[in-house]
Amino acid sequence: MQKKNPTSADTRTTAAADLADAALFREQAYVNAEWVGQPALDIADPASGEVIGSVPQLDAADARAAVDAAHAAFRPWAGLLPQERGAILRRWFRLIEGAREDLARLMVREQGKPLSEARGEIDYGASFVEFYAEEARRPNIEGITSHLPDAEVELWREPVGVAALITPWNFPCAMITRKAAAALAIGCPVVVHPSSETPFSALALAELAARAGFPAGVFNVVTGSAREIVGEWCADARVRALSFTGSTQIGRLLYAQSAPNIKRLVMELGGHAPFIVLADANLDQAVEEAVKAKYATSGQDCLGANRFYIEAPIYEEFCARFTAASQALSIGPGMEDPAIGPLINAGAVAKQEEHVADALEHGARQLCGGPRPDLGPLYYAPTVLADVPDGAKIMHDETFGPVAALTSFKTEDEVVERANSTEYGLVAYLHTQNPRLIYRMSRSLEFGMVAVNRTKITGAPIPFGGMKQSGIGREGARQGMEAFSEIKYVCRDWR
């Protein structure tokens, strides 16, 4: 595997120096309650390019060993009372809460996001652990009125077995807890492959899981080549569920690799959110929410608005106000808590440049923004493009950065058709004061989530997920446990 961002050895610092509890910084993987492997893959701080530490490059044999441990732990873990599993999850939640500042700082060092966003992610990530610690106790047996004489029928919800969790770099904590807490609560041990861009947050969660008292083999984190490790898990029939968050491209691959042994799948994939503003919308509110929908996580968010459809009578005014708001955003290293931090790597910057150049070739106008090499190679300023035609790349490819594409529309039918003309279906944003339009358009937009007159909609109690090629299944809520469980039907004769 390539080094993430090769730098000379003399620029190396260690992220542990930033932490009150230095033991949260781990440079080994965590398998069967042991720290294993030797640091080999360098991880760099996107803000400075400095190497902040290294993690092991484990391989298929290590991945198999993690499944051996998880498989051995399955029956005893599933056999605990739900409230016993819940008590361990609750301890984990409290430890995460207690380590909030360290976890946030560690995340800023490896991921680059602004410090207050990192704190928000720790809170969001912890909320899933708290939610599922409680959900573990809810009844999981359903009685049904019998359709057979002299028989009693019942449905039991049972854990499937070992679950493999594969997570991306943009939310290095919450994407793990959202999956792991649901799986662990219902009784499934987990093997986790975190993104090789951001493994330290996962390893800190493993350290806290060890302190919380999860039995050996129940929570494992394996770092290294995703192709080898995840490939091994896909091929291993003992891994009964695979939960992936990442790009649609890799999701397709894992879907195919999971077919031979018919795994339960959860896929939280890419998005290409439309942000629709009707002429009757509260424009102040629409602009404020548009800034959040575009620039959260420095634009590197699956919920990020990619395309802005503004009704013709307010188009020029929205363009002007949104451009002014974009230009007012601060940009800098995440530790200084700006609005926008560095992007994750050079590939992400290249993608912004490609989408902007292509849009301009298609006749778009650039109203502000562009690269910020004065700050460093990974900085890209909030960028607004107006009059972007539907044929431009940015109107159908995920940009995953701080570039906004604006266009105008004239009718409801037109905007719904254009908004739906994508392979993605994760979230759509709608701004209008008209209740009939809110109802009608929420119905006709083909997205798993519709946010009306607001941007923040996520949280542990809601089923998060997309339609079409944005994914399969839901995370969070009661539904988040479904992929990790199966229904068993029992019919008892009582004669």
Query: In this structure, are residues 207 and 23 in contact, taking their beta carbons and an 8 Å threshold?
Result: yes
Q: Which of 176, 218, 230, 278 binds ligand NAP (CB under 6 A)?
A: 230
Question: Using CB under 6 A, which of 28, 54, 177, 195 touches ligand NAP?
Answer: 195
Q: Which long-range contacts (CB under 8 A, 24 or more apart) does 292-297 make?
A: 292/455, 292/456, 293/429, 293/451, 293/455, 294/326, 294/382, 294/402, 294/404, 295/326, 295/329, 295/339, 295/340, 295/382, 295/402, 296/117, 296/455, 297/113, 297/117, 297/170, 297/171
Exactly one of 302, 311, 475, 482 is catalytic; name it: 302
Dihedral-angle region of residue 120 (phi above 0 means left; psi in -120 to 50 means alpha; beta otherwise): alpha
Verify whether residue 302 is a known catalytic residue: yes
Residue 311 annotated among the catalytic residues of the structure: no
- Looking at this protein, which amino acid is placed at residue 212? A
In whole angstroms, give the CA distance from residue 165 to residue 158.
19
Nearer to ligand NAP, 80 or 235 (CB): 235
Minimum Å gap between C-beta 214 and ligand NAP is 21
Determine if 326 is a binding residue for ligand NAP (CB under 6 A).
no
CB 408 to ligand NAP: min, Å: 26
Q: Which of 7, 14, 32, 247 binds ligand NAP (CB under 6 A)?
A: 247
> Would you mind telling me the total number of residues written for the chain in this entry?
495
Interhelix angle 435-444/412-420, nearest 10 degrees: 30
Q: 37, 53, 270, 338: which one contacts ligand NAP (CB under 6 A)?
A: 270
* Nearer residue to ligand NAP within complex by CB, 50 or 197: 197
Residue among 323 and 352 whose Cβ is closer to ligand NAP: 352
| Closest-CA residue to 169 (of 297, 334, 59) | 297
By beta-carbon proximity to ligand NAP, the closer residue of 121 and 311 is: 121
Q: How far is the CB of 436 from ligand NAP (least distance, A)?
A: 30
Give yes or no for residue 127 binding ligand NAP (CB under 6 A).
Answer: no
Distance CA 470, CA 286 (A): 25
Residue type at 25? F
CA 164 vs CA 191, 231, 292, 381, 448: distances in Å: 5, 11, 32, 37, 24
Per-residue contact string for residues 131-160; x = within reach of ligand NAP by CB under 6 A: ------------------------------
Is residue 62 part of the contact set for ligand NAP (CB under 6 A)? no
Measured CA to CA, the distance from residue 419 to residue 412 in angstroms comes to: 10
Of positions 26, 90, 179, 193, contacts ligand NAP by CB under 6 A: 193
Instruction: Scan residues 373-412 and list those touching ligand NAP (CB under 6 A).
Output: 398, 400
Q: Tell whether residue 271 is a contact of ligand NAP (CB under 6 A).
A: yes
Helix (H/G/I), strand (E/B), else coil: 275: strand
Determine, following the binding rule CB under 6 A, whether residue 197 of this chain makes contact with ligand NAP: yes
Examine residue 227 and tell whether it contacts ligand NAP (CB under 6 A): yes
Q: Annotated active-site positions, please?
A: 268, 302
Contacts with ligand NAP, residue ranges (CB under 6 A): 166-171, 175, 193, 195-197, 226-227, 230, 245-247, 250, 253-254, 268-271, 302, 398, 400, 426, 466, 471
